[in-house]
Structures are given as C-alpha cells and as structure tokens.
C-alpha cells in the first residue's frame, strides 16, 4: 500500500432512478478496506481511498457488499479494477443502479392418483448480484445477474415440495418440467412482485 489517494464519487439509485440512502460503498484491495462511504439521502457517496501497492491483487469497488452492513432489499455490485497500478485514475465516478431483491416461492403439488408418477423439474432465475471486470481478457468472469439453475426430482415417496429462491425484480424466471421422462415443457414466471408464489400441480 502507498500514500496515493484516489477520489471516488457517484450516485446509487434503484432501476427507476430513485436515490438509495445508507448504501455502503467500499474500495478494497489485498484483503483491506482502503476507503468507504455510505450514500446520503440523495444517493450520493464520495470518499478518498488509499491505493494498493504495485504487487497487490487488483482492487475491487463494491456497492452494497454483503460483508458490510448492507441493505438486504437491494442487489450487490462489484467492479474489479483489472488495470496496472500506475494506470489507475486518481478520480473516478461510478453511478450504479441496483435491482430490488425479491423472493420466488415454487410449490410443486401432486394431485394425480397414479402411484408411479415421477417429476423432474428445474427453475432458472437471475442471480442477485452483479460482478464486472474492466478487462476484455477477463470477460469470462463478468457475471452480472447471471442465470442460475436448480434441479429437483419428485418421486412417489417424495411427491411434494416448496422451494424459496432469492432473485431480483424486473426479470423472468423459467420453470421447466418433465413427467415420467416425457417431453420438457417450459413456463415463464415474471418477477414483478416483492413476493411471487408459483404453484405447479401434476
């Protein structure tokens, strides 16, 4: 770590442009917090940060980091500054829009009287965090609200289940299923409410 200071400023909002208050904004490197602030009532943050040394890992700019006193109602955002130490700007502005966290509850209920019905199903949904890298060499690691898929199987001895998933608003989850190894059917579930319940009967 050296005595170079980097000035960070910007605004944190929701996706509608409304300012978010008391959101932690941090700059981390080498396992240390180099600088931080919390947004004010206008969603504005500003702080001076120490710089990492030239042989330290690339630092991270983090908004609503789950390792801090964060707002669980909104997503988290991480930006990896994969640039050479000497090339980093001494003044940087990041304006970030966070997504609202929502819950999706999926209930699978067997109503068939058949004793040999098997159900395989999956639910695909966007992650509740965004991770970006500023280097084209690391595009593989850009995972901004990337899709996750969870798979389940219901059997005659375990016919029903309820699963709760944490995801983000304004997106779409996809439920797919196959009964007794039959054709796969896909159903889209809009994520427009703070709590969405989807029931599937088979």
Q: Is 136 helix (H, G, I), strand (E, B) or coil?
A: helix
Which CATH number do you get for residue 115?
2.60.40
Question: Residues 74, 127: one domain?
Answer: no
CATH code, domain with 51: 2.60.40.10
Whether 106 and 94 map to the same domain: the answer is no
What is the pTM (predicted TM-score) of this model? 0.84
Work out the number of other CB atoms within 10 angstroms of the CB of residue 55. 7
Place 3 in a pLDDT band, splitting at 50, 70 and 90. low
Domain final position from 63, 83, 98: 98
**What is the structure's pLDDT at 9?**
96
Contact 102, 109 (CB under 8 A): no
| CA-atom Rg of the chain in angstroms | 22
Instruction: Count other Cβ atoms within 10 Å, centred on residue 77.
Output: 24
Q: What is the DSSP letter of 192?
A: -
- Same domain? For 125 and 46 the reply is no
- Given a cut of 80, whether residue 142 has pLDDT beyond it is no
Same domain, 49 and 77: yes
Same domain, 105 and 86: no
Reduced DSSP (H G I as helix, E B as strand, rest coil) percent helix, strand, coil of the chain, to 5: 5, 60, 40
pLDDT of residue 89: 60
Segment 167-184 mean pLDDT = 97
Query: What's the pLDDT score for residue 68?
Result: 82
Query: Which pLDDT does position 69 carry in this prediction?
Result: 85
pLDDT of 53: 60
- Among 98, 117, 147, identify where a domain stops: 98
Q: What are phi and psi of 140, to 5 degrees?
A: -60, -30
Phi, psi of 76 (to 5 degrees): -110, 155
Per DSSP, the three-state class of 59 is: coil
Residue pLDDT, tens place only, 25-45? 999 887 789 999 999 999 999
Could you give the C-alpha distances from 159 to 145, 149, 164, in angstroms and in order? 31, 21, 17
Q: 89 and 180 share a domain?
A: no
pLDDT of 6 above 80:
yes
Average pLDDT, the chain: 89
Q: What is the pLDDT of residue 180?
A: 97
Grade residue 81 by pLDDT with cuts at 50, 70 and 90: confident
Query: Are 115 and 174 in the same domain?
Result: yes
Same domain for 66 and 82: yes
Whether residues 75 and 88 share a domain: the answer is yes
Least confident of 18-22, 31-35, 72-76: 31-35
Same domain, 92 and 15: yes
Tally of domains in the chain: 2
Last residue of a domain, one of 41, 69, 98: 98
Structural domain span for residue 83: 2-98
Q: Are residues 7 and 82 in the same domain?
A: yes
Taking the C-alpha atoms of residue 193 and residue 100, their distance in angstroms, rounded to an integer, is 10
- Classified as helix, coil or strand, 39 is coil
């Amino acid at each position: 770590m050296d005595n170079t200071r980097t000035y960070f400023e910007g605004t944190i909002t929701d996706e509608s442009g409304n300012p978010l208050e008391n959101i932690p904004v941090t700059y981390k490197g080498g396992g240390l917090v180099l600088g931080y602030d919390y947004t004010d009532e206008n969603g504005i943050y500003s702080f001076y940060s120490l710089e990492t040394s030239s042989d330290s890992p690339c630092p991270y700019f983090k908004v609503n980091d789950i390792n801090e006193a964060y707002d669980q109602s909104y997503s988290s955002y991480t930006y990896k500054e994969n640039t050479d130490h000497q090339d980093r700007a001494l003044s940087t502005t990041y304006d970030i829009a966070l997504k609202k966290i929502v819950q999706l509850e999926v209930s699978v209920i067997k109503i068939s009287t058949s004793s040999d019905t098997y159900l395989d199903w999956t639910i695909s949904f966007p992650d509740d965090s965004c991770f970006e890298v500023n280097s084209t060499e690391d595009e593989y690691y850009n995972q901004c609200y990337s899709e996750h898929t969870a798979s389940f199987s219901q059997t005659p001895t375990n016919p029903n289940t309820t699963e709760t998933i944490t995801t983000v608003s304004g997106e779409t989850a996809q439920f797919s299923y196959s009964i007794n190894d039959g054709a796969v059917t896909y159903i889209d579930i809009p994520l427009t409410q703070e709590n969405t319940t989807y029931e599937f009967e088979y």
